[in-house]
Amino acid sequence: MIGFVYLDDQEWPPAGPPTIWRYWRRLPVDDPRAAVTLGEGGTPLLPLPLTPAHDVFVKDETRNPTGSHKDRALSVAISRCVSLGRKASVVVSAGSTGLSHAAYCAHAGITSIVAIPAATDPRRIYPLTAMGSRVIRVQSDIDAIIARTGEIARSRGLFQSSTTRRANPFQTEAAKTIAFEIVDTLGEPPDFVVVPVGGGGTIAGIWRGFRELRERGSIARSPRFIGVVPEGYDALAAAYRKGIETQAEFDALPYSAVTPTLMPKLAHAHPPDGLEALAAVKDSGGYFCVATNRDAEEGQARFATGFGHYVELSSAGVLAATHSVLRQLDTGRRASIVLILCGSGYRESFVDIERNAIPENRSSLDALDASIEEALRPAAAAP
Ligand SMILES: Cc1ncc(COP(=O)(O)O)c(C=O)c1O
């Protein structure tokens, strides 16, 4: 696995506009002035009033340019692509990465090629084509497309912007900036960080961010990492329980990519950065929580109606995981917990509309006053 060595002797936190590029000395770039940026990063850390006994915050990654934390990674990936003089980048993703890739390639003026399974909902494809991506719908499953695209990219010398560390080690460095921003806002590391895990690159990157801060003496300890995986795609939780340490043992776990889930962005049978995600959780003294579809639905509703955060289902399981952390905490000592809210619900609302009918409460103009009167009445208590 490729690693990077950073020489930095500057003041911490570094000065500069609130984007990931203020941390450029800790990112694998030579010249931050040439960065391909849409203003990613610098997202708010907001209190989430779940309990008076502890300090809970959300790191609101939905505020990134295309609505997810992947914008950090794609800003670095496409900056690297451009610095190498490449004119095209390829990625396999019908989710957050594909959307981000489309935006950053368009901004850089390079060709974006996105390969996706043919079965992908056209409503997910449309924003990519709207930003000029060339979308290839492949009659196969995502794992096979990733493997084949990797081979083709290598043989053609094509730049790959995959958010898997093995395929593109540069981009995963970007997730470290989430750790940097959390520490720079709180003034210290939190006790827990709760992260949804798909391929595993995000949790691993945030963990490396805290480790780097420790190594440079900016913080004295790292938080415990709670990884949230979807039911049916919980190979990491099984690996953690079984004490698995090698890729071969991990690959042998009996998971496959056909289980239906409401959290498609996290649906990896064998997450490609799984072993590093496992290391992040184990070494930090954390654990994995398995989120059910019901956890995702309830979490989404609670975030939205209780706090005004409309997150996508794949991001909503962090709430159930946080409640499990809170239940185990000693009430005598205040703990701090940061939930990473990865993806916005606004870009996935078509999924939610299909599951939740919009109330039929039409009003004539004449009846509007009465309708408002009705709307002002307290909601009926749930049965
Ligand atoms: C909304 C959302 N949350 C979480 C993740 C998980 O990130 P990773 O695949 O790096 O584990 C993804 C991945 O695409 C995502 O789109």
Closest by Cα among 251, 255, 291, 258 to 275 = 251
Q: Check pocket membership of 195 for ligand 1, CB cut-off 6 A.
A: no
Q: Check pocket membership of 196 for ligand 1, CB cut-off 6 A.
A: yes
Q: Check pocket membership of 163 for ligand 1, CB cut-off 6 A.
A: yes
Q: Check pocket membership of 67 for ligand 1, CB cut-off 6 A.
A: no
Per-residue pLDDT at 163 = 79
Closest by Cα among 134, 315, 165 to 228 = 315
Using DSSP bridges, classify how beta strands 55-60 and 45-47 pair: parallel, antiparallel or unpaired: antiparallel
- Expressed in angstroms and rounded, the spacing between residue 332 Cα and the centre of ligand 1 is 34
- Starting at the edge strand that comes first in sequence, how are the strands of the sheet with 88-92 ordered? 134-138, 111-117, 88-92, 159-160
Residue with tokens 């071969």: 248
Atom of ligand 1 nearest to the CA of 197: 11
* CA–CA gap between residue 307 and residue 320 (Å, rounded): 15
Enter the tokens of residue 8: 């930095």
Q: Check pocket membership of 201 for ligand 1, CB cut-off 6 A.
A: yes
Q: What is the pLDDT tens value at each position of the chain, 383 positions in all? A: 567 888 766 788 899 999 999 999 999 998 899 999 999 999 999 999 999 999 999 999 999 999 999 999 999 999 999 999 999 999 999 899 999 999 999 999 999 999 999 989 999 999 999 999 999 999 987 778 988 999 999 999 999 998 788 888 889 999 999 999 999 999 999 999 999 999 999 999 999 999 999 999 999 999 999 999 999 999 999 999 999 999 999 999 999 877 899 999 999 999 999 999 999 999 999 999 999 999 999 999 999 999 999 999 999 999 999 999 999 998 789 999 999 999 999 999 999 998 888 888 889 999 999 999 999 998 876 55
* CA–CA gap between residue 20 and residue 38 (Å, rounded): 10
Helices (DSSP H) in 84-121: which residue ranges? Answer: 96-108
- Which of 342, 347, 351, when mutated, tests ligand 1's pocket best, judged by the most ligand atoms within 8 Å of its CB? 342
Distance of CA 318 to the CA centre of its chain: 11
* CA–CA gap between residue 235 and residue 248 (Å, rounded): 13
Atom of ligand 1 nearest to the CA of 203: 11
Question: Does the predicted model carry a pTM greater than 0.85?
Answer: yes
Per-residue pLDDT at 12 = 85
Per-residue pLDDT at 52 = 95
Q: Check pocket membership of 315 for ligand 1, CB cut-off 6 A.
A: yes
- Expressed in angstroms and rounded, the spacing between residue 19 Cα and the centre of ligand 1 is 20
Non-local (6+) Cβ contacts of 59 within 8 A are 43, 44, 45, 178, 181, 182, 338, 339, 340, 341
